[in-house]
Amino acid sequence: MKILLNNETTLLNDELTISILLDQINIRQKYFAVEVNEQIIPKSKHKSFLIKEGDRIEIITAIGGG
């Protein structure tokens, strides 16, 4: 299955949930947001939201600084 992940074409072997994808790409920060096809997906839905062929996914992580 082909998706667009942070503006890069990415191939996935199976249909995944957002939670599984985040584990596979090692996103473990506390503060981040996931957008699928220009819609923010709440963290409460990450375990059940299935990624589909052609989805455009953006993962934004917060970085502190000063």
Residues 3-56 pLDDT 10s: 999 999 999 988 899 999 999 999 877 889 999 999 999 999 999 999 999 999
pLDDT in the model for residue 13? 84
Domains: count for the chain: 1
CATH number of the domain that residue 29 is part of:
3.10.20.30
In Å, what is the CA distance from 45 to each residue of 19, 21, 55, 63?
Answer: 9, 13, 16, 23
Query: Is 52 inside any structural domain?
Result: yes
Q: What is the domain range of residue 6?
A: 2-61
Residue 11 falls inside a structural domain: yes
Examine residue 66 and state whether it is found in any structural domain, yes or no. Answer: no
* Residue 61: predicted pLDDT: 83
CA distance readout (Å), 18 to 12, 27, 43, 56? 12, 11, 9, 12
Cα separation, 60 vs 62, in Å, equals 7
Give the confidence band of 66 by pLDDT, cuts at 50, 70, 90: low
